[in-house]
Amino acid sequence: SKIIDVGSGESRLVDNLIILGFKNITLLDISHNSLEKSKVRLGSEANLINWINSDIILFNPKERYNLWHDRATFHFLKESSTINKYVELASNAIKSGGYLIISTFSKNGPLKCSGLEIKQYDKSLIIKLFGKFFDLISSEKNEHITPFNTKQEFIFNLLKRK
């Protein structure tokens, strides 16, 4: 399976994917520094990963993925044009029958993330944006406790490409 983690940052998702035996993994992040830290952490296993330092909106996928994972990148896009571009990118880059996992702050979540304004989402807005190309499999709210002991409500969505 081909997997892409959009806005991977220094996430340890990749570590677990490697442990589970996945081989075709792409990490994409706008922060060169975060990708470099992940490379150092992974050591020789970093050679197994396809590293892409890019803004998601400027990303030009060269392949199609079975799984597109995005935890908290999409909600930074606030303009209709960039939101629609993201939907188009994901739709074109995910194989038919493939999955999109997209997590954003919910309507009850914060209005800012890392000091930047974000757009909040709920299940109906996710369906409105992605429903032409995807079927919603599940949508669940989850309360995340930050390192500063504050609560942030996320909405996790699993969609299947039509």
Which three-class secondary structure state does DSSP give residue 142?
A: strand
pLDDT at residue 110, rounded to an integer: 79
Answer whether 0.85 is exceeded by the pTM.
yes
pLDDT at 115 over 90: no
Average pLDDT, the chain: 96
CA pseudo-torsion sign 101, 40, 149, 120:
negative
Domains of the chain (ranges, CATH numbers): 83-162 (3.40.50.150)
User: Of the candidates 6, 8, 121, which has an alpha carbon nearest to the alpha carbon of residue 58?
Assistant: 6
CB 122 within 8 A of CB 60: no
74 pLDDT more than 90: yes
Q: Give the tens place of pLDDT for each residue, 121-132.
A: 999 999 999 999
